[in-house]
Structure 1
Amino acid sequence: MTPTLLLTDALFLRHDPGPEHPECPERLGRILSLLDSQPIPGTERRAPRPATDEELAAVHSPRLLEALRGLRGKSTSLDPDTAMSPDSYDAAVLAAGASVQAVEEVMAGRARNAFALVRPPGHHAEPDQAMGFCLLNNAAIAAEAARRLGAQRVLVFDWDVHHGNGTQAAFWKRRDVLYMSAHQFPYYPGTGAPTEIGEGEGLGYTVNCGVPGGSGDADYGALCERLFLPVARAFRPDLVIISAGFDAHREDPIGGMVVTERGFAAMCTAFQQLARDFCGGRLVLLLEGGYSLEGLSRSVHACVEVMAGRREEHFVEGVSRDAADALRRSREALQPHWPVLGQ
């Protein structure tokens, strides 16, 4: 049987945003340590390749790429949240390449599915701006690669606690990439309102559901069952990409959610089944946020167990009043574009 592919590299540990920064090298280090101490049968770890200039330019502007290349080998701050060390540029290019390679291997059938265990994360990076700990948008670059490889419809589901403004911006006016986000709202970066549903040809192909802090496993399950999965099934994706941030974990020092590793595994189980139903199981996870070292590493391990066929979790019942209200607003905004939401 083809393996669950884990793409990672020691270079990712050399991206250092500075002392006390939450997006620290130890995040990935702890994940890899747990995978080493509790190995999961059916997985294969491999070093990725860097992204090409053409792959980066499919998403990002020449101005941004030139500016980032000019900072290679330097330490600097791009904004109060986003910093670079001498190895950061090369790490970001390798993270983007790992994301593309994950797509390539899965679409070619050489891997049953894949998880790019990378840093820096990417979903806040807009086509013309690095921000929010992110330099290059790994999910958008991977989705563009999938389109070039023949995927007609690419689904990107983002469960990071922060809205993926950069990925949304990349596909705002397009219908070949469906962007869906479950996130804390209102919260950084301020985007992701239920009325943000795309524009022009892309109207209805951005799906946002922001829920208040304190939302947990049952709330996220309700969002998936009543909004994200029905729309995803109607879309019929050729590939499923998950921007897998784990800062909605109940132990996370930045997010305000109470999701557990079981909740993340349940979402992974559901979207893996979606991929099996519509696109031969083609599923790619890309590491985004998550700042509790223990919560992050346990949640990643749980999702890899799901991907390797060693674990299956299901949504727990129940939804809070606030999450139900948020779900209703999102469904109302999108129902004209997705009749399935009226059923």
Structure 2
Amino acid sequence: SWSRPPCPMSPEEKLDPLPDNFILQPPVFYPVIPYVTTIFGGLHTGKMVMLQGVVPQNALSRFQVDFQCGCSVQPRPDIAIHFNPRFHTTKPHVICNTLHGGRWQAEARWPGLALQRGASFLILFLFGNEAVKVSVNGHHFLHYPYRLPLSRVDTLGIFGDILVKAVGFLNINVSSLGAKAWVAAVFNVLWHLDREVPCSRALPRGLWPGQVIIVRGLVLQESKDFTLSLRDRSAYVPVTLRASFTDRTLAWISPWGRKKLILAPFLFYPQRFFEVLLLCHEGGLKLALNGQGLGATSLDQRALERLRELRISGSIQLYCV
């Protein structure tokens, strides 16, 4: 049912503190290698790290991605997960290992790596209960059981012969989909560095079940609203999501301008990062904000397939779509 918006926030009202998992980490574009960064909130089951880049044509031997327990130089920190593609041999392969107390443990080796010099790649690290699963260019490649507690990992390090275009951090606890379905969905994401809002993105083939739209940005200090809309070829707007920073409401806006409030804590705060996910399924779109499922809006399959444009506007700095 359609509901009235609540009263605007009074000047004396204080904002509730946000849990740590709502303080999201923005993507990083074209970092200088070697690159070391803190993982906001550390690693936990259900977290994903995406690495997009290119193996340089003149690469000498290898690169490595380390999930570290700290970032000290001396003594060297423990490395819970050492992911080390090697492509200097006739048969490219990957070595995984763990460094504990300054000593490497037994190597684990996987042959058949689909990476060559000059090749682009998209690597996804999906952290489960007992092991990390790694996909390369949309195909599952390996799983490596943890040898150190995942809760100790708080640092990501990238080293070696590699050009990194983007590093992204995602949560997957937004629906009941299994990990395999999320891997398939996430690989449809296309990363952009967008500084200008409003922003428009074409949807050449519309939407269909399994697709996910991810929008990540930063709420500006002087903020009014944020709007995400989906339009068809005739510029008809069947889907609009609007966050009003003045009265702290999040709502679906009908094509006739009526509001349907989303009954959930308001999570858009000045100078805080946010992540909006729209997951397409049979019958509509599921919504998640900062990794938390917030329900769905109904839309039949024909209407989804007719959508051709995504538009974003408002008082935000846009990082990726």
Whether the TM-score (by the shorter chain) exceeds 0.5 is no
Question: Higher relative contact order at CA 8 Å, sep ≥6: structure 1 or structure 2?
Answer: 2
| Larger gyration radius, structure 1 or structure 2 | 2
Normalized per residue, the structure richer in strand is 2
Give the TM-score of the pair, scaled to structure 1.
0.24
Normalized per residue, the structure richer in helix is 1
